[in-house]
Structure 1
């Protein structure tokens, strides 16, 4: 009986996806950016079930001529959906 538990545990571990890969993949897809990469997710409480990520990459040539850009991504852990918004103003140095 004890030997049977180890293979089952290994199977469960192998089937469990990396917890961070889904938000990262969803945010990269939602951004539509080329060569996109994300920050580590910032997890909010289970009550809100939201994660926030920063996405950096290059805008598609048809949008902004391939310029580098930054987007914020809001990922809903319940629905597994991501929304992105341009965060260019946040990455600029504030004016005195």
Structure 2
């Protein structure tokens, strides 16, 4: 099993909004693969939203409702991408050899 500082931050929150973590050494476990797949979907969604935002902002005639919608969607995508970055950063740090 992994140590406390090697827990994987999962790309979703619990019902109370708190972070969820995975403790496993098996990168091919069902939960690890599920988390990898959800991260891939979230990153793809963020990329699609970036294109949508560029189109909306580039149109020049977007109304307030369209701008608000894009801003809300981008906020959610940014939250997801930030969680992925934090999770991957922790895993990189945990996998580095410890130097004395």
TM-score range, shorter chain: under 0.3
Greater Cα radius of gyration, structure 1 or 2: 1
Provide TM-score, normalisation by structure 2: 0.25
Q: Which has the higher strand share?
A: 1
More helix by share: 2
